């Protein structure tokens, strides 16, 4: 398996679990309808953990363009591979979202709220305010990249590092996710948003492309600040 295929598969796993828990919570007539924020954050964290276990030895399991960009800035990943990794991540996230559409197919039809449907696929602000929303994504991603760099600098018992990363995702979601839904990953937002836009999902509304730049630009800025801060301190 090539590293690019590994990034595709790992990203698809992350979104299958992440969008899957959002679908189970938001769509009507599911057994898990109304699941709370803790359950959603835990499922996202465990999805990331599984994605890392699946492909970590092959591609390093970036599964996020901000991780790829941060490592390239740090000098530990070649810039020549950055475009291929990001494309694989976006396509993997798109594919994961498609799997969730198929899995929950009867439930789209009985869900009256287009916003609930859209929320399965992509992030959106609790209060729409451009600068605060952008800052939220910057801060969340800052702690993501800084946390990953700290985790990488420590020794763990064999096989436990993916759980540490998954725990980091849960912590960010619980502490900082209440404002924008914590994309902290441009591929995680753009790939599923594109799936929402293209697929014939019953009851869906608009894909809110006017907001879509925030979960792309904010995380990239946060990653750049985090790796610069880490390099300065250490």
pLDDT tens-place values along the chain, 234 residues long: 899 999 999 999 999 999 999 999 999 999 999 999 999 999 999 999 999 999 999 999 999 999 999 999 999 999 999 999 999 999 999 999 999 999 999 999 999 999 999 999 999 999 999 999 999 999 999 999 999 999 988 877 768 999 999 999 999 999 999 999 999 999 999 999 999 999 999 999 999 999 999 999 999 999 999 999 999 988
Contact in structure between 104 and 195 (CB atoms under 8 Å) = no
Q: Count of CB atoms within 10 A of residue 9's CB?
A: 21
Buried b (16+ CB within 10 A) or exposed e, 210-221: ebbebbbebbbb
Number of domains the chain contains: 1
Q: Which CATH number do you get for residue 121?
A: 1.20.1080.10
177: containing domain: 3-233
**pTM beyond cutoff 0.85:** yes
**What is the residue whose two structure tokens read 């924008």?**
180
């Amino acid at each position: 398996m090539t590293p690019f295929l590994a990034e595709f598969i790992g990203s698809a796993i992350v979104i299958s679990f992440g969008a899957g828990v959002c679908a189970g919570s938001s769509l009507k007539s599911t057994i898990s309808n109304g699941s709370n924020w803790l359950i959603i954050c835990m499922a996202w964290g465990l999805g990331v953990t599984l994605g890392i276990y699946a492909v970590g030895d092959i591609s390093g399991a970036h599964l996020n363009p901000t991780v790829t960009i941060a490592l390239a800035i740090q000098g530990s990943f070649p810039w020549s591979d950055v475009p291929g990794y990001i494309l694989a991540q976006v396509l993997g996230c798109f594919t994961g979202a498609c799997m969730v559409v198929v899995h929950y197919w009867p439930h789209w039809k009985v869900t009256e709220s287009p916003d609930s449907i859209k929320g399965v696929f992509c992030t959106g602000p609790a209060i729409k305010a451009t600068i605060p929303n952008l800052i939220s994504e910057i801060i969340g991603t800052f702690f993501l990249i800084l946390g990953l760099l700290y985790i990488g600098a420590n020794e763990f018992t064999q096989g436990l590092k993916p759980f540490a990363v998954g725990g980091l995702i849960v912590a960010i979601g619980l502490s900082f996710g209440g404002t924008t839904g914590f994309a902290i990953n441009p591929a995680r937002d753009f790939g599923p948003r594109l799936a929402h836009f293209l697929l014939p999902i019953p009851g869906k509304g608009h894909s809110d492309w006017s907001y879509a730049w925030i979960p792309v630009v904010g995380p990239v800025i946060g990653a750049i600040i985090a790796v610069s801060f880490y390099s300065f301190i250490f």
